[in-house]
Amino acid sequence: MSWKQTEYTGWGRHLRAKGEIARPERTSAFIRVAEESPCPAIGQRRSYGDASLNSGGRAISTARLDRFLGFEPETGILEVESGCMLGDIVTHFGPRGWLPTVLPGTGFATVGGAIGMDVHGKNHHHKGSFGLHVRDVTLALPDGIHTIAPDDPLFAATIGGMGQTGPIASARIQLAPTKGALAMVTERRMPDLDSYFDALDASEATYTVGWIDATARGDALGRGILEEGETGAGLVPPARRGKRIPMDAPHFALSGPIVRSFNAAYYRRIPERGRTVVKALEDFFFPLDKIHDWNRLYGKRGFHQFQCVVPLDEREALRGMLERVSDSGLASPLAVLKRMGAAEGGMMSFPTEGYTLAIDFPAREEAPEMIRGLIDMTAEADGRVYLAKDAFASPEHMDAMYPERAAWAEIVNELDPEQNYATDLVRRLALRDL
């Protein structure tokens, strides 16, 4: 297996790494290189910050390990290689009446990445996170192949464990039956933050998510558009063809006045009475995937995302965050508000019951201070930040936000005492320190 010196980034394109990357094409080669040179495995690098970076070290890319290995139509259990993208599963199995039980906001996320970050979707309040629907995981370790199931103590350290229990070769995941191959989506304006919270609490839809105008102020603070979706049968509209961003956008493209104008128009596109539309499954679950390389819209300096979850009784904490963001003029059009259900994932899983807010910020000089302030506010509200999106949290926050961190570190350090699987994120946040 050859190694190639490469400079690479996460999806945010701001933080960078240089190191050797191997790209095996077969599981047998993947297993061999994982045994001979233990190092982190990376997929499509859709984590925003430094979670998929290993500066100065090696990494194994799973991008070519994207095959379906077996499907049980009686049970809906699908076995796949770890580099298989979730969008490919939707495209192939959606018309056959099956979907991954949990889907994040991009179909380019791989199964291995979805396990390592224990991703959540538009139905966490009903179905929990991705890891709850994983039947077993096959790890490629220096001493050979290990298949672990939920009754294995290592399983809880692997789900949401950021790859620190070793490279994932394959997994068996539980698909869920669907009502059909399309999505019926009801869209409603939410005029302010209290209306938004109340609507999220009252929603009984299978899938619920909302866009929020992070530039709004005063009485309109927190306004946005709530989407409630169900799968259904009928004539399926074609998925929108992808467009490619050919170059990095200029600095002024996401200036404050432009973003405020765009957000106001986007909010008004929904009639006051609301509306129901029919979409292809891919367009509903992965709305931004139809714009290839959309991260280039933030310019050559890239962008950051802040995502937190705070308890249900901490509405005012989110109000304070939105006030701070709207006053700064740094927000982009991409901001999301959702409700999460109970925490049932792995030891280092992000999802826990509460409201989750995610906002993108262009990588300008003022952004780090802004985001660090939001992280501090999250900590004060007994919330946590999503490490798949993070670039600015500090080690001092980790034990309060992730109370099982130390116990998790003991498990992964015993498995990997030389910390061969550590990434830039793990080192920056001292996640494996005891």
Phi, psi of 407 (to 5 degrees): -65, -40
pLDDT in tens, 130-170: 999 999 999 999 999 999 999 999 999 999 999 999 999 99
Neighbours of 235 (CB within 10 A): 7
Q: Looking at residue 244, what is its pLDDT?
A: 75
Q: Which fold does the domain 182-394 belong to in CATH?
A: Vanillyl-alcohol Oxidase; Chain A, domain 3 (3.40.462)
Phi, psi of 234 (to 5 degrees): 145, -170
In this structure, which amino acid lies at residue 55? S
H-run or E-run covering 93: helix 86-93
Q: Looking at residue 251, what is its pLDDT?
A: 72
Spatial CA neighbour of 124 closest among 329, 405, 394, 386: 386
pLDDT in tens, 182-210: 999 999 999 999 999 999 999 999 999 99
Q: Does position 217 have pLDDT exceeding 70, yes or no?
A: yes
- Say which range, 21-25, 134-138, 296-300, 345-349, has the weakest mean pLDDT: 296-300
Higher pLDDT, 176 or 290: 176
Q: Does position 302 have pLDDT exceeding 70, yes or no?
A: yes
Q: Does position 241 have pLDDT exceeding 70, yes or no?
A: no
Q: Looking at residue 384, what is its pLDDT?
A: 98
| Mean pLDDT (whole number) for 16-32 | 96
Neighbours of 1 (CB within 10 A): 14
Q: Looking at residue 246, what is its pLDDT?
A: 72
Q: Does position 390 have pLDDT exceeding 90, yes or no?
A: yes
Helix (H, G, I), strand (E, B) or coil at 235: coil
Q: Does position 234 have pLDDT exceeding 90, yes or no?
A: no
Spatial CA neighbour of 8 closest among 81, 82, 69, 59: 59
Q: Looking at residue 240, what is its pLDDT?
A: 66
Q: Looking at residue 386, what is its pLDDT?
A: 98
- Say which range, 35-49, 152-166, 249-263, 386-400, has the weakest mean pLDDT: 249-263
| Mean pLDDT (whole number) for 2-28 | 96
pLDDT in tens, 42-75: 999 999 999 999 999 999 999 999 999 999 999 9
Q: 249 pLDDT band (50/70/90 cuts)? A: confident
The average confidence (pLDDT) of the chain is 95
Higher pLDDT, 305 or 292: 305
Q: Looking at residue 315, what is its pLDDT?
A: 97
Q: Looking at residue 161, what is its pLDDT?
A: 98
Residues in contact with 233: Cβ distance below 8 Å, sequence separation at least 6, in sequence order: 179, 180, 181, 182
Q: Looking at residue 291, what is its pLDDT?
A: 87
Q: Looking at residue 248, what is its pLDDT?
A: 77
Helices (H), 188-314: 193-202, 256-268, 281-285
How do the domains of the chain map onto residue ranges? 4-61, 68-179, 182-394
Identify whether the C-beta of residue 426 lies closer than 8 Å to the C-beta of residue 59.
Answer: no
pLDDT in tens, 96-120: 999 999 999 999 999 999 999 999 9
Residue 344 has which token pair? 């049932």
Q: Does position 83 have pLDDT exceeding 70, yes or no?
A: yes
Dihedral class, residue 342 (left if φ above 0, else alpha if ψ from -120 to 50, else beta): beta
Q: Which fold does the domain 68-179 belong to in CATH?
A: 3.30.465
Q: 233 pLDDT band (50/70/90 cuts)? A: confident
Phi, psi of 419 (to 5 degrees): 55, 45
Spatial CA neighbour of 169 closest among 139, 130, 213: 139
Q: Does position 250 have pLDDT exceeding 90, yes or no?
A: no
| Mean pLDDT (whole number) for 378-404 | 97
Higher pLDDT, 343 or 165: 165
Identify whether the C-beta of residue 157 lies closer than 8 Å to the C-beta of residue 165.
Answer: yes
Stated pTM of the model: 0.96
